[in-house]
Chain A
Amino acid sequence: MKFTLKIWRQQGPDDKGRFVTYQAHEVSPDMSFLEMLDSVNQGLIVKGEEPVAFEHDCREGICGSCSLVINGVPHGPERGIATCQLYMRRFSDGATITIEPWRARAFPIIKDLVVDRRALDRVMQAGGYISVNTGGAVDGNVVLIGKDQAETAMDAASCIGCGACVAACKNASAMLFVAAKVSHLASLPQGKPERTRRVTAMMEAMDREGFGACGNQYECEAVCPKSISVRFIATLNREYLRAGVVESGAPTVPEAPHAESD
């Protein structure tokens, strides 16, 4: 197969950037999208040109590193997969494919197709954790959790933090990401003690990082490689409203069982 690729090239954060057109020849339909880019890069290296920078690690849909907007859709035309799980047989021979980076103010471009997604880490640091005392590991099944509850938590926890939800959202909102994290922790007993503080802190962090607000358009769910449901956004909204009521009514908020102190 052969393809015409229109790829976003940008030297660094301050470069203006532009599209450059490349030809990909002798592409096997069984190549993954990233392997196809690898072969294009081989060609560039042979010619003494700068290869296209793109992010990848596991190449099996679990790490959340790969991040390409392919023909206007984050992670490309297939549903429920990451870019690394996309195969060239999905495209018709001779097609022109446009490849862009995630675009959001919170995700500044580092180079070409690689963006800085540390904003998501900072949102996590604001509250996406549980505080536990270290010591001997707790025995399994000490805290019994119903199957439905465990399934719900697992559905939310399947988020790999790739940021496709932000890339797809018209408002570049990280709402589905925050919703997945908040819902995952709030649906388990271990996450309950800090739920009030967590949801407020994470929402504040999301704004602070420059993500937009949710428009309930659900484009995020449609591109999520883990198909995380937007019903978790409703859960997040409920958690947030609950926190508003609890915080405004309560004379004191209990301190964390183990506040991070260093």
Chain B
Amino acid sequence: MASGETAVSSCKNRGMMRLFNHFQTSLDSKVVVALTGLGLAGFVVFHMLGNLQVFEGAEALNSYAAFLRDMPILLWTTRLGLLSIVALHIGLAIQLTLHNRRARPVAYAVREYRKASLASRTMAVTGSVLLLFIVFHLLHLTAGVVDTSFPDRLDLQGHRDVYGKVVHAFRNPLFVALYLAGQFVLGLHLSHAVSSSLQTLGFEHAALNRLFKAAGPVIALLVVLGNMAIILAVFLGVVRT
């Protein structure tokens, strides 16, 4: 029987092929999207925690920023690492999204969802907006080309004045609005993504399932609240130069 042969056909090298050559099934791609996504989620959490030092004043934040930048090898390994993780994540996510769209060429005339959350149904949209936001954010606060009204300058310790830059940025209602919108989209993406990754990686246990389910929304909420605290604290004048 031909189909029997499919199952029995030598799979000696299949795993090797899967690991080193190409992704054999959509599930392989999903696993990589989940792993890279969790990596990015981890980054986003630490990014938020690091930035909370804005509440400790200019000196704390600026020396933290200097600490990150002062090790060029570490800085560039991290940057290149993040870049390749992002590239893998986006590349495979787009491929999966197209694969999934092809699977239903004719849409239903009437559609009612019982369980699929809004976040889970909009992963491709929130992901794409997130990409735009990340590019904008890098151009704005890392490269400093969006808003040139605040010159790169040094603080009293001779560190780059990141604190001043952040405060300057979030005094501007336009930037506040853009960043808050970015947080909203990030929150949506993360709220489905983290729990979904755990499922994709096979985490399942009667006693822990509620924890796995809650992980996404909780992490999303913490990240969004932390980041919003910074933005709003500056805007409302709680944090000032």
Judge: A and B partners, yes or no.
Answer: yes
Q: What is A's interface to B at a CB cutoff of 8 Å?
A: 6, 8, 19, 69, 71-73, 98, 100, 103-106, 122, 125-127, 170-173, 194, 196-198, 200-201, 203-207, 210-219, 221-223, 230-231, 233-235, 237-238, 240-241, 243-253, 255-256, 259-262
Q: Is the CB of A252 within 8 A of B201?
A: no
Given known contacts A259-B4, A259-B8, is B111 in contact with A217 (CB within 8 Å)? Answer: no
In the assembly, what is the distance between CA of A216 and CA of B201, in Å? 11
Given known contacts A173-B103, A237-B201, is B6 in contact with A126 (CB within 8 Å)? Answer: yes
Given known contacts A197-B7, A204-B25, A240-B27, is B104 in contact with A103 (CB within 8 Å)? Answer: yes
From the candidates B103, B196, B200, name the one contacting A104 in the complex (CB within 8 A): B103
From the candidates B1, B30, B100, name the one contacting A262 in the complex (CB within 8 A): B1
Q: Is B199 an interface residue (CB 8 A)?
A: yes
Nearest chain-A residue to B1 (Cβ)?
Answer: A260
Segment at the interface with A among B14-22, B50-58, B68-76, B169-177: B14-22
In the assembly, what is the distance between CA of A194 and CA of B9, in Å? 12
Q: Is B12 an interface residue (CB 8 A)?
A: yes
In the assembly, what is the distance between CA of A215 and CA of B203, in Å? 15
Pairs of residues from A and B, 4 with the lowest C-beta to C-beta distance, nearest first: A247-B15, A248-B15, A260-B4, A238-B202
Q: Is the CB of A197 within 8 A of B117?
A: no
Q: Is the CB of A248 within 8 A of B202?
A: no
Number of interface residues of B (CB under 8 A): 55
Q: Is the CB of B103 within 8 A of A105?
A: yes
In the assembly, what is the distance between CA of A122 and CA of B18, in Å? 23
Provide a sorted-by-A list of 20 A–B residue pairs whose CB atoms are within 8 angstroms.
A6-B109, A98-B110, A103-B106, A125-B6, A170-B116, A171-B104, A172-B100, A200-B25, A213-B26, A215-B100, A216-B200, A217-B117, A234-B204, A237-B201, A241-B31, A244-B18, A246-B15, A251-B12, A253-B10, A260-B4
Q: Which residues of A contact B10 (CB under 8 A)?
A: 253
Given known contacts A237-B199, A243-B15, is B103 in contact with A122 (CB within 8 Å)? Answer: no
Q: Is the CB of B113 within 8 A of A219?
A: yes
Q: Which residues of B contact A98 (CB under 8 A)?
A: 109-110
> CB-defined interface of B159-170 with A at 8 Å, one 1/0 digit per residue?
000000000000
Q: Is the CB of B15 within 8 A of A100?
A: no
